[in-house]
Amino acid sequence: SWSMQNVFDEQVRLIHSKVGPGDHVICALSGGVDSAVAATMVHKAIGDRLHCVFVDNGLLRYKERERVMDTFEKHLHLPVTCIDASERMLTRLKGLADPETKRKAIGELFIRVFEEFAGVLEAKIGSKPRFLVQGTLYPDVIESCPPPGTNLKHSHMIKSHHNVGGLPEDLKFELIEPLRWLFKDEVRKIGALMGVPKQFLSRHPFPGPGLAVRILGDVTVGSALEVLRLADEIYTSTIREFGLYDDIWQAFAVFLPVKSVGVQGDQRTHSHVIALRAVCSADGMTADWYPFDGKFLKEVSSRICNKVKSVNRVVYDITSKPPGTIEWE
Ligand code: XMP
């Protein structure tokens, strides 16, 4: 729309005047809409003095790295360095079962990888980059600085969140936050103006620790990641096929570290259980489970059991938030 084009142009102008001709800017892309739109604005303003990195932490969904890099390159024309840290991450996560311990390890390794990227960049350009781009939205600004008397009981503090933006104090950069005054729907409109495909703009939220919070316990046991990726892809594409994706706030599969008995063909099986989750929500603070009809549930369950080896049972999570959280860990 006209006004969003104005917001975009104004931000590009502001960034252009804030960043001096010799300054460099660094940006960690999460794969989400916000960081991608923020980076694209900065790229418009200062071109190749923006240095973006995308870290594959080994906990991404089916073909996600390829899909996200493709969007950056083909649609946003954004130069991005992709770092594959998956082996390091899985080595680090081996044997860790406690949810908060897992989150902490993932956040720390991300920071180390980012610092290494910044170090290599500094050597290349001959100075430390001065600015860091973050895709902070207006609701994040309010939440991190709540007015007195605000009830934070249901805030995100229930679980420690390690968003890609969550860098430590001593990594001192000046911040560029071009989305600081915008709501999510406005960011989507700007993204659409910049040519980001609709499928990318309307993607459900995805947590920073990725599939690690959707494999209960040790994520490195057996082929849990592989099984979950496949089941989740079948689930999501069936939701799209039934035209339900945009009615749902967030939908995903969860890998349960248990086996149950089943029968497939004439064979008794002893295989894994996949749980499906789908919720409606306004902001993720509270949520209701999504009332799929029987036809959908029957179809998705038979597809998953037929196509994913070592899964013989699918269950649907009928817990709202509260008392459950949206993620299982
Ligand atoms: P919960 O499970 O707390 O999730 O009801 C609420 C929303 O937050 C997302 N979530 C996370 N996002 N890092 C993130 O970046 C995290 O550690 C994390 N944990 C939960 C979750 O996907 C849902 O949208």
Q: Are residues 117 and 246 in the same domain?
A: no
Residue 146 has pLDDT above 70, yes or no: no
Amino acid code (one letter) for 308: V
Q: How many CB atoms lie within 10 A of CB 9?
A: 12
Q: Are residues 184 and 119 in the same domain?
A: yes
Q: Are residues 121 and 268 in the same domain?
A: no
Distance CA 129, CA 123 (A): 10
Tell the residue nearest (CA) to atom 21 of ligand 1: 207
Distance CA 312, CA 274 (A): 8
Could you tell me which residues are beta bridge partners of residue 25? 50, 131
Q: Are residues 142 and 26 in the same domain?
A: yes
Express as a percent the part of the chain with pLDDT over 90: 87
Residue 326 lies in a domain: no
**Span from the CA of 284 to the centroid of ligand 1 (angstroms):** 8
CA 42, 72, 214, 278 torsion: positive or negative? positive
Tell the residue nearest (CA) to atom 9 of ligand 1: 207
Q: Is 260 annotated as a binding residue?
A: no
Show Cβ contacts of residue 223 under 8 Å, excluding neighbours closer than 6 positions: 310
Residue 58 lies in a domain: yes
Q: Are residues 11 and 112 in the same domain?
A: yes
State the pLDDT at residue 145: 72
Q: What is the pLDDT of residues 172-221, one digit of tens each?
A: 899 999 999 999 999 999 999 998 999 999 999 999 999 999 999 999 99
Give the number of C-alpha atoms closer than 13 A to the C-alpha of residue 233, restricted to the C-beta side.
Answer: 14
- 139-156 average pLDDT score: 65
Q: Is 30 annotated as a binding residue?
A: yes
CATH of the domain at 12: 3.40.50.620
Paired tokens of 305:
């059991």
Show Cβ contacts of residue 218 under 8 Å, excluding neighbours closer than 6 positions: 93, 94, 95, 96, 97, 257
At 160, the pLDDT band (50, 70, 90 cuts) reads low
**Span from the CA of 148 to the centroid of ligand 1 (angstroms):** 25
CATH of the domain at 226: 3.30.300.10
Q: Are residues 196 and 233 in the same domain?
A: no
- 275-279 average pLDDT score: 99
Distance CA 13, CA 133 (A): 15
| Total-model pTM | 0.92
Residue 157 has pLDDT above 50, yes or no: no
Q: Are residues 160 and 299 in the same domain?
A: no
CA–centroid distance for 128 within its chain? 28
Q: Are residues 265 and 195 in the same domain?
A: no
State the pLDDT at residue 162: 44
Predicted complex ipTM exceeds 0.95: yes
- 291-315 average pLDDT score: 97
Size of the chain, expressed as the number of residues it contains: 329
Amino acid code (one letter) for 152: L
How many domains is the chain built from? Answer: 2
Is 59 within 8 Å of 211 (Cβ atoms)?
yes
Domain holding 79, by residue range, is 2-201
Residue 150 lies in a domain: yes
Q: Are residues 31 and 168 in the same domain?
A: yes
Residue 243 lies in a domain: yes
Last residue of a domain, one of 201, 232, 261: 201
Q: Are residues 39 and 160 in the same domain?
A: yes
Residue 309 lies in a domain: yes
Q: Are residues 197 and 271 in the same domain?
A: no
Last residue of a domain, one of 152, 172, 201: 201
Q: Is 155 annotated as a binding residue?
A: no
Residue 213 lies in a domain: no
Paired tokens of 327:
């993620």
CA 40, 42, 47: angle at the middle one, nearest 5?
90
**Span from the CA of 25 to the centroid of ligand 1 (angstroms):** 28
Give the position, in ligand 1's atom list, of the atom nearest the Cα of 164: 15
> Beta strand pairing status for 267-280 and 288-289?
antiparallel
Residue 217 lies in a domain: no
Q: Is 85 annotated as a binding residue?
A: no
H helix runs in 77-183, sequence order: 86-93, 99-125, 138-144
Nearest Cα residue to 128 out of 83, 170, 180: 170
Q: How many CB atoms lie within 10 A of CB 251?
A: 20
Show Cβ contacts of residue 25 under 8 Å, excluding neighbours closer than 6 positions: 19, 42, 46, 49, 50, 51, 129, 130, 131, 132, 133, 176
Q: Which residues line ligand 1 (CB under 6 A)?
A: 103, 158-159, 161-163, 205, 207-209, 213, 250, 284, 321, 325-327
Show Cβ contacts of residue 275 under 8 Å, excluding neighbours closer than 6 positions: 253, 254, 256, 314, 315, 316, 317, 328
Phi-psi region of 220 (alpha: psi -120 to 50; beta: other; left: phi over 0): alpha
Last residue of a domain, one of 147, 171, 201: 201
**Span from the CA of 85 to the centroid of ligand 1 (angstroms):** 22
Q: Are residues 155 and 61 in the same domain?
A: yes
- 52-68 average pLDDT score: 98
Q: Is 35 annotated as a binding residue?
A: yes
Distance CA 164, CA 125 (A): 24
Give the number of C-alpha atoms closer than 13 A to the C-alpha of residue 248, restricted to the C-beta side.
Answer: 23
Q: Which residue has the higher pLDDT, 10 or 169?
A: 10
- 55-74 average pLDDT score: 97
Residue 47 lies in a domain: yes
Residue 128 has pLDDT above 70, yes or no: yes
